[in-house]
Structure 1
Amino acid sequence: MTLFLPETPKVAFAASLGGNGLTKTTSGNQNLIYKDVLTNVGGAYNAETGIFTAPIRGVYYIRFTANGPTDFPMSAVLYKNSDSIQLIVHEQPSGEGSDTASNGAALMLEAGDTLSLQLWHNTQIWDNSNHHSTFSGFLLYSIRTTDTNAAPLPAPPHVNQRITLRQVSDGERPSTRPRGVRRCASFCYPPTSSPSGIFTAPVRGVYYIRFTANAPNDFPMSAVLYKNSDSIQLIVHEQPSGEGSDTASNGAALMLEAGDTLSLQLWHNTQIWDNSNHHSTFSGFLPSRHLQRLPALPHVK
Protein backbone atom coordinates (compact mmCIF):
# COMPACT_ATOMS: atom_id res chain seq x y z
CA MET A 1 0.00 0.00 0.00
CA THR A 2 1.30 3.43 -0.93
CA LEU A 3 0.98 6.10 1.76
CA PHE A 4 0.27 9.60 0.50
CA LEU A 5 0.96 12.43 2.90
CA PRO A 6 -0.78 15.80 2.37
CA GLU A 7 1.60 18.46 1.12
CA THR A 8 2.38 21.22 3.58
CA PRO A 9 1.32 24.58 2.10
CA LYS A 10 3.93 27.24 1.54
CA VAL A 11 3.03 30.30 3.62
CA ALA A 12 4.92 33.59 3.79
CA PHE A 13 3.75 37.19 3.83
CA ALA A 14 5.10 40.70 4.31
CA ALA A 15 3.22 43.98 4.09
CA SER A 16 3.72 47.65 4.91
CA LEU A 17 1.15 50.14 6.18
CA GLY A 18 1.89 52.25 3.12
CA GLY A 19 0.33 55.63 2.62
CA ASN A 20 2.37 58.75 3.20
CA GLY A 21 2.25 59.97 6.76
CA LEU A 22 0.80 59.53 10.20
CA THR A 23 -1.97 57.21 11.42
CA LYS A 24 -3.24 58.43 14.78
CA THR A 25 -6.22 57.66 17.00
CA THR A 26 -7.56 59.60 19.98
CA SER A 27 -10.98 57.90 20.08
CA GLY A 28 -10.47 54.22 20.83
CA ASN A 29 -8.39 51.45 19.29
CA GLN A 30 -8.03 51.30 15.51
CA ASN A 31 -7.36 48.32 13.26
CA LEU A 32 -4.14 48.64 11.27
CA ILE A 33 -4.44 47.52 7.65
CA TYR A 34 -1.11 46.88 5.95
CA LYS A 35 -2.12 47.56 2.35
CA ASP A 36 1.26 47.61 0.59
CA VAL A 37 1.90 43.89 0.10
CA LEU A 38 5.50 42.84 -0.52
CA THR A 39 5.01 39.05 -0.36
CA ASN A 40 1.93 36.84 0.00
CA VAL A 41 2.86 33.26 -0.85
CA GLY A 42 -0.15 31.06 -0.17
CA GLY A 43 -2.57 33.99 0.02
CA ALA A 44 -3.13 33.73 3.78
CA TYR A 45 -2.81 37.50 4.32
CA ASN A 46 -5.77 39.71 3.37
CA ALA A 47 -4.67 43.23 2.39
CA GLU A 48 -8.27 44.48 2.54
CA THR A 49 -8.71 43.62 6.22
CA GLY A 50 -5.10 43.45 7.48
CA ILE A 51 -5.76 39.92 8.82
CA PHE A 52 -3.51 36.88 8.48
CA THR A 53 -5.37 33.55 8.76
CA ALA A 54 -3.39 30.39 9.52
CA PRO A 55 -4.25 27.83 6.83
CA ILE A 56 -3.03 24.85 8.89
CA ARG A 57 -2.03 23.98 12.44
CA GLY A 58 1.61 24.78 12.99
CA VAL A 59 4.33 27.07 14.26
CA TYR A 60 4.62 30.44 12.53
CA TYR A 61 7.28 33.08 12.95
CA ILE A 62 5.68 36.53 13.15
CA ARG A 63 7.41 39.90 13.30
CA PHE A 64 6.27 43.53 13.10
CA THR A 65 8.00 46.91 13.14
CA ALA A 66 6.59 50.33 14.01
CA ASN A 67 7.94 53.81 13.31
CA GLY A 68 6.68 57.14 14.58
CA PRO A 69 7.60 60.64 15.76
CA THR A 70 8.70 60.71 19.41
CA ASP A 71 6.47 63.63 20.42
CA PHE A 72 3.46 61.33 21.02
CA PRO A 73 3.01 57.70 22.18
CA MET A 74 3.56 55.02 19.51
CA SER A 75 2.04 51.53 19.41
CA ALA A 76 1.41 48.40 17.36
CA VAL A 77 -0.33 45.53 19.18
CA LEU A 78 -0.58 41.98 17.82
CA TYR A 79 -3.89 40.24 18.53
CA LYS A 80 -4.84 36.61 18.00
CA ASN A 81 -8.47 36.06 17.03
CA SER A 82 -9.12 39.78 17.70
CA ASP A 83 -9.08 39.47 21.50
CA SER A 84 -5.88 37.88 22.84
CA ILE A 85 -2.79 40.11 22.93
CA GLN A 86 0.29 38.19 21.79
CA LEU A 87 2.98 40.88 21.51
CA ILE A 88 3.27 44.65 21.65
CA VAL A 89 5.39 47.58 20.60
CA HIS A 90 4.58 50.62 22.76
CA GLU A 91 6.75 53.66 23.45
CA GLN A 92 6.13 56.81 25.43
CA PRO A 93 7.03 60.31 24.11
CA SER A 94 10.71 61.25 24.38
CA GLY A 95 10.89 64.68 22.72
CA GLU A 96 11.85 65.61 19.18
CA GLY A 97 12.81 63.15 16.48
CA SER A 98 11.45 59.71 15.55
CA ASP A 99 12.02 56.12 16.58
CA THR A 100 11.59 52.57 15.30
CA ALA A 101 10.77 49.52 17.41
CA SER A 102 9.96 45.88 16.64
CA ASN A 103 8.87 42.65 18.27
CA GLY A 104 8.33 39.07 17.16
CA ALA A 105 8.02 35.45 18.22
CA ALA A 106 7.41 31.89 17.08
CA LEU A 107 3.69 31.30 17.69
CA MET A 108 1.70 28.08 17.78
CA LEU A 109 -1.49 28.60 15.74
CA GLU A 110 -4.46 26.36 14.98
CA ALA A 111 -5.95 26.24 11.49
CA GLY A 112 -8.26 29.25 11.18
CA ASP A 113 -6.59 31.33 13.91
CA THR A 114 -6.18 34.96 12.88
CA LEU A 115 -3.51 37.54 13.61
CA SER A 116 -3.93 41.28 13.20
CA LEU A 117 -2.42 44.50 14.51
CA GLN A 118 -4.19 47.36 16.26
CA LEU A 119 -3.24 50.91 17.10
CA TRP A 120 -4.09 51.59 20.73
CA HIS A 121 -6.14 54.57 21.87
CA ASN A 122 -4.17 57.83 22.03
CA THR A 123 -1.16 56.52 20.07
CA GLN A 124 0.24 56.86 16.56
CA ILE A 125 2.28 55.10 13.87
CA TRP A 126 3.91 56.36 10.68
CA ASP A 127 4.79 54.98 7.25
CA ASN A 128 5.35 55.90 3.63
CA SER A 129 6.35 54.14 0.42
CA ASN A 130 9.74 53.22 1.92
CA HIS A 131 8.11 50.68 4.28
CA HIS A 132 9.05 51.83 7.78
CA SER A 133 6.17 50.01 9.53
CA THR A 134 5.71 46.38 8.52
CA PHE A 135 3.92 43.12 9.40
CA SER A 136 5.33 39.79 8.23
CA GLY A 137 5.45 36.08 8.96
CA PHE A 138 5.97 32.59 7.61
CA LEU A 139 5.19 28.95 8.41
CA LEU A 140 8.12 27.19 10.08
CA TYR A 141 6.52 23.74 10.13
CA SER A 142 3.12 22.12 10.35
CA ILE A 143 2.02 20.06 13.34
CA ARG A 144 -0.57 17.50 12.37
CA THR A 145 -2.92 15.54 14.61
CA THR A 146 -2.08 11.91 13.81
CA ASP A 147 -3.66 8.56 14.55
CA THR A 148 -2.37 7.48 17.95
CA ASN A 149 -2.17 3.85 16.71
CA ALA A 150 -0.01 4.71 13.73
CA ALA A 151 3.76 4.46 13.94
CA PRO A 152 5.35 7.91 14.04
CA LEU A 153 7.36 9.00 11.03
CA PRO A 154 11.04 9.73 11.72
CA ALA A 155 11.71 13.46 11.81
CA PRO A 156 14.08 15.93 13.39
CA PRO A 157 12.74 17.55 16.56
CA HIS A 158 10.64 20.66 16.05
CA VAL A 159 11.99 23.37 18.28
CA ASN A 160 10.26 26.64 18.95
CA GLN A 161 10.03 28.84 22.00
CA ARG A 162 8.56 32.15 23.05
CA ILE A 163 9.27 33.43 26.52
CA THR A 164 8.19 36.63 28.22
CA LEU A 165 9.40 38.22 31.43
CA ARG A 166 7.49 37.85 34.68
CA GLN A 167 4.33 39.93 34.74
CA VAL A 168 4.47 43.18 36.69
CA SER A 169 1.82 45.82 37.25
CA ASP A 170 1.67 48.70 34.76
CA GLY A 171 2.64 51.21 37.43
CA GLU A 172 5.52 49.29 38.97
CA ARG A 173 8.97 50.77 38.46
CA PRO A 174 11.29 48.32 36.68
CA SER A 175 13.80 46.63 38.95
CA THR A 176 17.54 46.77 38.44
CA ARG A 177 17.64 43.07 39.35
CA PRO A 178 17.18 40.34 36.72
CA ARG A 179 13.58 39.20 36.43
CA GLY A 180 12.67 35.55 36.13
CA VAL A 181 10.92 34.11 33.12
CA ARG A 182 7.15 34.34 33.49
CA ARG A 183 6.25 31.41 31.26
CA CYS A 184 7.08 29.51 28.13
CA ALA A 185 4.07 30.46 26.05
CA SER A 186 4.45 27.87 23.31
CA PHE A 187 6.81 25.12 22.30
CA CYS A 188 6.67 21.95 20.22
CA TYR A 189 9.54 20.19 21.91
CA PRO A 190 10.47 20.76 25.57
CA PRO A 191 14.05 22.12 25.28
CA THR A 192 13.59 24.91 27.80
CA SER A 193 13.25 24.90 31.57
CA SER A 194 10.68 27.63 32.12
CA PRO A 195 11.55 28.56 35.74
CA SER A 196 15.24 28.97 34.89
CA GLY A 197 14.85 30.92 31.64
CA ILE A 198 17.40 28.63 29.94
CA PHE A 199 17.03 27.25 26.41
CA THR A 200 18.92 23.98 25.82
CA ALA A 201 19.59 22.87 22.24
CA PRO A 202 18.26 19.31 21.84
CA VAL A 203 20.30 18.62 18.68
CA ARG A 204 23.27 20.06 16.83
CA GLY A 205 22.11 22.65 14.32
CA VAL A 206 21.67 26.27 13.33
CA TYR A 207 19.03 28.07 15.42
CA TYR A 208 17.49 31.48 14.84
CA ILE A 209 17.37 33.41 18.12
CA ARG A 210 15.85 36.85 18.75
CA PHE A 211 15.07 38.93 21.83
CA THR A 212 13.40 42.28 22.48
CA ALA A 213 13.78 44.61 25.47
CA ASN A 214 11.62 47.53 26.59
CA ALA A 215 12.26 50.06 29.38
CA PRO A 216 11.88 53.71 30.40
CA ASN A 217 14.60 56.02 29.07
CA ASP A 218 15.61 57.41 32.47
CA PHE A 219 18.03 54.58 33.31
CA PRO A 220 20.31 52.26 31.28
CA MET A 221 18.59 49.25 29.67
CA SER A 222 20.12 45.89 28.81
CA ALA A 223 19.49 42.29 27.78
CA VAL A 224 22.57 40.17 27.12
CA LEU A 225 22.48 36.73 25.45
CA TYR A 226 24.96 34.22 26.88
CA LYS A 227 25.87 30.77 25.55
CA ASN A 228 26.67 28.22 28.25
CA SER A 229 26.48 31.04 30.84
CA ASP A 230 29.85 32.57 29.98
CA SER A 231 30.16 33.49 26.28
CA ILE A 232 28.36 36.67 25.17
CA GLN A 233 26.63 36.14 21.82
CA LEU A 234 24.47 39.25 21.36
CA ILE A 235 23.46 42.32 23.33
CA VAL A 236 20.87 45.05 23.60
CA HIS A 237 22.22 47.97 25.65
CA GLU A 238 21.05 51.59 25.65
CA GLN A 239 22.08 54.60 27.70
CA PRO A 240 19.55 56.99 29.31
CA SER A 241 18.04 59.52 26.91
CA GLY A 242 15.58 61.45 29.06
CA GLU A 243 11.82 61.03 29.20
CA GLY A 244 9.71 58.34 27.56
CA SER A 245 10.47 54.68 26.88
CA ASP A 246 12.28 52.69 24.21
CA THR A 247 12.29 49.24 22.62
CA ALA A 248 15.33 47.51 21.13
CA SER A 249 15.98 44.03 19.73
CA ASN A 250 18.76 41.84 18.41
CA GLY A 251 19.02 38.40 16.84
CA ALA A 252 21.12 36.04 14.77
CA ALA A 253 21.44 32.53 13.35
CA LEU A 254 23.63 30.64 15.85
CA MET A 255 25.38 27.30 15.46
CA LEU A 256 24.74 25.25 18.62
CA GLU A 257 25.91 21.83 19.73
CA ALA A 258 23.46 19.46 21.43
CA GLY A 259 23.34 20.49 25.07
CA ASP A 260 24.46 24.09 24.52
CA THR A 261 22.42 26.55 26.56
CA LEU A 262 21.26 30.08 25.86
CA SER A 263 20.05 32.53 28.50
CA LEU A 264 19.62 36.26 28.95
CA GLN A 265 21.11 38.36 31.71
CA LEU A 266 20.45 41.88 32.93
CA TRP A 267 23.75 43.68 33.40
CA HIS A 268 24.67 45.50 36.61
CA ASN A 269 23.06 48.93 36.99
CA THR A 270 20.54 48.44 34.17
CA GLN A 271 16.82 47.73 33.91
CA ILE A 272 14.20 46.07 31.71
CA TRP A 273 10.39 46.20 31.81
CA ASP A 274 7.44 44.00 30.90
CA ASN A 275 3.82 43.28 31.71
CA SER A 276 1.13 40.87 30.51
CA ASN A 277 1.18 42.46 27.02
CA HIS A 278 4.63 40.98 26.26
CA HIS A 279 6.91 43.94 25.58
CA SER A 280 10.17 42.07 26.38
CA THR A 281 10.53 38.66 24.76
CA PHE A 282 12.98 35.81 24.08
CA SER A 283 12.27 33.61 21.06
CA GLY A 284 13.94 31.07 18.84
CA PHE A 285 13.53 28.08 16.55
CA LEU A 286 15.39 25.40 14.64
CA PRO A 287 14.61 26.34 11.03
CA SER A 288 15.95 23.25 9.25
CA ARG A 289 17.05 19.66 9.67
CA HIS A 290 19.77 19.29 12.27
CA LEU A 291 23.38 18.77 11.24
CA GLN A 292 25.02 15.46 12.00
CA ARG A 293 28.71 15.32 12.74
CA LEU A 294 30.65 14.14 9.71
CA PRO A 295 33.20 11.34 10.20
CA ALA A 296 36.76 12.55 10.51
CA LEU A 297 38.90 12.42 7.38
CA PRO A 298 41.68 9.83 7.40
CA HIS A 299 45.16 11.08 8.18
CA VAL A 300 47.35 10.97 5.11
CA LYS A 301 51.12 11.01 5.40
Structure 2
Amino acid sequence: MLNDRLTPLEQLRTCLNERASTRDENIKQLSQVIQEVAVISPRLQQLELKCSRPRCGFSALTWTNNVAEGETISPYKDLYSNVGGNFDAKSGIFTAPVDGLYVTAISLRLSENEELTVYVKHNKKGLDQSSATDVCRCSATVEDTHACDVSVLDMKAGDTLVLFLETDNTDYENCVSFSCFLLS
Protein backbone atom coordinates (compact mmCIF):
# COMPACT_ATOMS: atom_id res chain seq x y z
CA MET A 1 0.00 0.00 0.00
CA LEU A 2 2.85 2.38 0.87
CA ASN A 3 4.66 1.37 -2.33
CA ASP A 4 1.54 2.34 -4.31
CA ARG A 5 1.74 5.79 -2.75
CA LEU A 6 5.48 6.20 -3.35
CA THR A 7 5.50 5.09 -6.99
CA PRO A 8 4.21 8.41 -8.43
CA LEU A 9 6.72 10.34 -6.30
CA GLU A 10 9.58 8.15 -7.47
CA GLN A 11 8.43 8.71 -11.04
CA LEU A 12 8.45 12.45 -10.39
CA ARG A 13 12.00 12.31 -9.06
CA THR A 14 13.16 10.26 -12.04
CA CYS A 15 11.35 12.54 -14.41
CA LEU A 16 12.84 15.70 -12.94
CA ASN A 17 16.37 14.34 -12.55
CA GLU A 18 16.86 12.50 -15.84
CA ARG A 19 14.77 14.28 -18.43
CA ALA A 20 14.47 17.85 -17.31
CA SER A 21 17.27 19.84 -18.86
CA THR A 22 15.70 23.21 -19.33
CA ARG A 23 13.37 25.45 -17.38
CA ASP A 24 10.54 25.01 -19.91
CA GLU A 25 10.85 21.23 -19.73
CA ASN A 26 10.76 21.41 -15.94
CA ILE A 27 7.60 23.49 -16.00
CA LYS A 28 5.97 21.13 -18.50
CA GLN A 29 6.91 18.05 -16.49
CA LEU A 30 5.82 19.67 -13.24
CA SER A 31 2.43 20.43 -14.80
CA GLN A 32 2.13 16.76 -15.78
CA VAL A 33 2.99 15.71 -12.25
CA ILE A 34 0.36 18.08 -10.83
CA GLN A 35 -2.21 16.48 -13.13
CA GLU A 36 -1.14 13.00 -12.01
CA VAL A 37 -1.35 14.01 -8.34
CA ALA A 38 -4.86 15.35 -8.96
CA VAL A 39 -5.80 11.96 -10.42
CA ILE A 40 -4.37 9.89 -7.55
CA SER A 41 -5.48 12.22 -4.74
CA PRO A 42 -9.01 10.73 -4.42
CA ARG A 43 -7.53 7.22 -4.30
CA LEU A 44 -5.15 8.28 -1.52
CA GLN A 45 -8.07 9.73 0.43
CA GLN A 46 -9.93 6.40 0.10
CA LEU A 47 -6.87 4.50 1.33
CA GLU A 48 -6.46 6.84 4.29
CA LEU A 49 -10.12 6.35 5.19
CA LYS A 50 -9.69 2.57 5.04
CA CYS A 51 -6.56 2.74 7.19
CA SER A 52 -8.23 4.97 9.76
CA ARG A 53 -10.87 2.35 10.68
CA PRO A 54 -10.83 1.67 14.40
CA ARG A 55 -8.99 -1.35 15.68
CA CYS A 56 -11.11 -3.55 17.87
CA GLY A 57 -10.99 -6.98 19.37
CA PHE A 58 -10.98 -8.81 22.66
CA SER A 59 -9.96 -12.06 24.26
CA ALA A 60 -11.45 -13.13 27.59
CA LEU A 61 -11.59 -16.21 29.79
CA THR A 62 -14.02 -17.29 32.48
CA TRP A 63 -15.34 -20.32 34.35
CA THR A 64 -18.82 -21.82 33.97
CA ASN A 65 -19.60 -22.81 37.55
CA ASN A 66 -22.96 -21.57 38.87
CA VAL A 67 -24.29 -20.71 35.42
CA ALA A 68 -27.79 -21.97 34.61
CA GLU A 69 -28.99 -23.29 31.27
CA GLY A 70 -29.67 -20.52 28.77
CA GLU A 71 -27.87 -17.85 30.80
CA THR A 72 -25.08 -15.67 29.54
CA ILE A 73 -21.65 -16.61 30.75
CA SER A 74 -20.35 -13.64 32.74
CA PRO A 75 -18.57 -11.95 34.36
CA TYR A 76 -15.26 -12.67 32.70
CA LYS A 77 -12.49 -13.14 35.24
CA ASP A 78 -9.55 -12.72 32.88
CA LEU A 79 -9.66 -10.09 30.15
CA TYR A 80 -6.47 -10.63 28.14
CA SER A 81 -7.13 -7.85 25.65
CA ASN A 82 -9.89 -5.38 24.88
CA VAL A 83 -8.63 -3.20 22.04
CA GLY A 84 -11.15 -0.43 21.50
CA GLY A 85 -13.00 -1.21 24.74
CA ASN A 86 -16.02 -2.79 22.98
CA PHE A 87 -16.29 -5.85 25.25
CA ASP A 88 -18.01 -5.49 28.63
CA ALA A 89 -16.41 -8.09 30.90
CA LYS A 90 -19.16 -7.72 33.51
CA SER A 91 -22.07 -8.49 31.18
CA GLY A 92 -20.15 -10.58 28.62
CA ILE A 93 -21.45 -8.47 25.73
CA PHE A 94 -19.34 -7.42 22.73
CA THR A 95 -20.75 -4.49 20.73
CA ALA A 96 -19.50 -3.91 17.17
CA PRO A 97 -18.21 -0.33 16.85
CA VAL A 98 -18.37 -0.24 13.03
CA ASP A 99 -19.86 -2.17 10.13
CA GLY A 100 -17.52 -4.92 8.99
CA LEU A 101 -16.48 -8.52 8.81
CA TYR A 102 -15.71 -9.98 12.24
CA VAL A 103 -14.12 -13.21 13.42
CA THR A 104 -15.40 -14.77 16.63
CA ALA A 105 -13.94 -17.79 18.41
CA ILE A 106 -14.81 -19.85 21.45
CA SER A 107 -12.95 -22.66 23.14
CA LEU A 108 -13.96 -24.93 25.98
CA ARG A 109 -12.04 -27.16 28.38
CA LEU A 110 -13.80 -29.52 30.77
CA SER A 111 -12.41 -30.15 34.22
CA GLU A 112 -14.63 -33.12 35.20
CA ASN A 113 -16.47 -35.99 33.53
CA GLU A 114 -19.46 -34.30 31.98
CA GLU A 115 -20.76 -32.81 28.75
CA LEU A 116 -21.05 -29.12 28.06
CA THR A 117 -22.09 -26.92 25.13
CA VAL A 118 -21.59 -23.18 24.74
CA TYR A 119 -22.68 -20.95 21.89
CA VAL A 120 -22.42 -17.35 20.71
CA LYS A 121 -25.54 -15.42 19.72
CA HIS A 122 -25.47 -12.51 17.28
CA ASN A 123 -28.13 -9.90 17.99
CA LYS A 124 -28.70 -7.27 15.35
CA LYS A 125 -28.97 -3.70 16.63
CA GLY A 126 -32.48 -2.69 17.63
CA LEU A 127 -33.86 -6.24 17.87
CA ASP A 128 -34.72 -8.09 21.06
CA GLN A 129 -32.75 -11.11 22.25
CA SER A 130 -35.37 -13.58 20.94
CA SER A 131 -34.39 -12.67 17.38
CA ALA A 132 -30.69 -13.39 17.95
CA THR A 133 -29.08 -16.15 15.90
CA ASP A 134 -26.44 -18.72 16.84
CA VAL A 135 -23.18 -18.02 15.01
CA CYS A 136 -20.63 -20.14 16.84
CA ARG A 137 -21.08 -23.32 18.93
CA CYS A 138 -18.85 -25.91 20.57
CA SER A 139 -19.41 -28.99 22.72
CA ALA A 140 -17.02 -30.92 24.92
CA THR A 141 -17.65 -34.42 26.23
CA VAL A 142 -16.05 -37.00 28.50
CA GLU A 143 -14.14 -38.36 25.49
CA ASP A 144 -13.23 -34.95 24.01
CA THR A 145 -12.57 -32.58 26.89
CA HIS A 146 -11.44 -29.73 24.62
CA ALA A 147 -13.49 -28.09 21.89
CA CYS A 148 -13.38 -24.91 19.84
CA ASP A 149 -15.21 -23.16 17.02
CA VAL A 150 -14.49 -20.14 14.85
CA SER A 151 -16.96 -18.17 12.77
CA VAL A 152 -16.77 -15.21 10.40
CA LEU A 153 -19.80 -12.93 10.30
CA ASP A 154 -20.93 -9.62 8.88
CA MET A 155 -21.90 -7.21 11.64
CA LYS A 156 -23.28 -3.70 11.65
CA ALA A 157 -22.32 -1.01 14.16
CA GLY A 158 -24.30 -1.65 17.35
CA ASP A 159 -24.78 -5.40 16.78
CA THR A 160 -23.86 -7.54 19.78
CA LEU A 161 -22.35 -10.95 20.51
CA VAL A 162 -22.99 -12.85 23.74
CA LEU A 163 -21.81 -16.28 24.91
CA PHE A 164 -24.44 -18.61 26.40
CA LEU A 165 -24.38 -21.92 28.24
CA GLU A 166 -26.68 -24.57 26.78
CA THR A 167 -26.81 -26.93 29.78
CA ASP A 168 -26.79 -26.41 33.55
CA ASN A 169 -23.32 -26.37 35.02
CA THR A 170 -23.27 -25.71 38.73
CA ASP A 171 -20.84 -28.26 40.11
CA TYR A 172 -17.65 -27.90 38.11
CA GLU A 173 -15.40 -25.15 36.92
CA ASN A 174 -14.99 -25.48 33.18
CA CYS A 175 -12.82 -23.01 31.32
CA VAL A 176 -14.34 -21.02 28.45
CA SER A 177 -12.52 -18.47 26.30
CA PHE A 178 -14.32 -16.03 24.03
CA SER A 179 -12.67 -13.80 21.42
CA CYS A 180 -13.71 -11.54 18.59
CA PHE A 181 -11.94 -9.07 16.30
CA LEU A 182 -12.65 -6.87 13.31
CA LEU A 183 -11.24 -8.45 10.15
CA SER A 184 -12.16 -5.77 7.62
Q: Considering the TM-score relative to the shorter chain, is it more than 0.5?
A: yes
The answer to whether structure 1 residue 138 and structure 2 residue 181 are counterparts is yes
Given residue 159 of structure 2, which amino acid in structure 1 is its aligned partner? D
Count of residues paired in the alignment = 130
CA distance in 1, matches of 2:141, 2:59: 27
Contact map agreement 1:15 1:38 (CA 8 A) in 2: yes
1:32 aligns with 2:80: no
Tell me if structure 1 keeps the 8 A contact 2:120–2:163.
Answer: yes
Q: CA deviation at 1:68?
A: 1.2
* Corresponding position of 2:53: 8
Structure whose residues are more often helix by fraction? 2
2:95 counterpart of 1:46: no
Separation in 2, partners of 1:23, 1:89: 17
SS at 1:133 equivalent:
strand
Q: Of 135, 153, 168, which residue of structure 2 is paired with 1:86?
A: 135
Distance of 2:150 and 2:59 partners within structure 1: 13
Partner of 1:109: 155
Of 73, 97, 116, 1:55 maps to 97
Query: Which has the larger strand fraction?
Result: 1
Gaps of 5+ in 1: 142-301
The answer (yes or no) to whether the contact 1:73–1:123 under 8 Å persists in 2 is no
Residue type of the alignment partner of 2:53: T
Q: How many angstroms apart in 2 are the aligned matches of 1:48 and 1:122? A: 20
**Aligned partner of 1:116: which letter?**
V
Matched, 1:72 2:114: yes
Structure 1 Cα separation of the partners of residues 173 and 150 of structure 2? 19
Residues 50 and 39 (structure 1), Cα distance of their counterparts in 2 relative to 1, 3 Å cut: same
Amino acid at match of 1:16: L
Which one scores higher on RCO, CA 8 angstroms, separation ≥ 6?
2
What's the CA shift for 1:38?
0.5
Amino acid in the other structure paired with 1:31: T
Q: Is the 8 A contact 2:106 2:136 kept in 1?
A: no
Aligned residue identity for 1:12: G
**Taking structure 2 as the reference length, what is the TM-score of the superposition?**
0.61
Q: Which residue is equivalent to 1:254?
A: none
CA contact (8 A) 2:105 2:136 kept: no
Q: Cα deviations across residues 151-173 of structure 1 (Å, max 9, x unaligned)?
A: xxxxxxxxxxxxxxxxxxxxxxx
Q: CA deviation at 1:126?
A: 3.3
Cα shift at 1:36: 1.3
Structure 2 distance, partners of 1:37, 1:92, is 26
How far residue 58 of structure 1 moved from its aligned partner, in angstroms, is 0.6
Q: Deviations over 1:227-256 (max 9, x none)?
A: xxxxxxxxxxxxxxxxxxxxxxxxxxxxxx
CA deviation profile, 1:61-81 (whole Å, cap 9, x unmatched)? 111111113522212111111
CA contact (8 A) 2:140 2:146 kept: no
Question: What is the TM-score with the length of structure 1 in the denominator?
Answer: 0.39
In structure 2, the partner of 1:126 is 173
**Aligned residues: percent identity?**
26
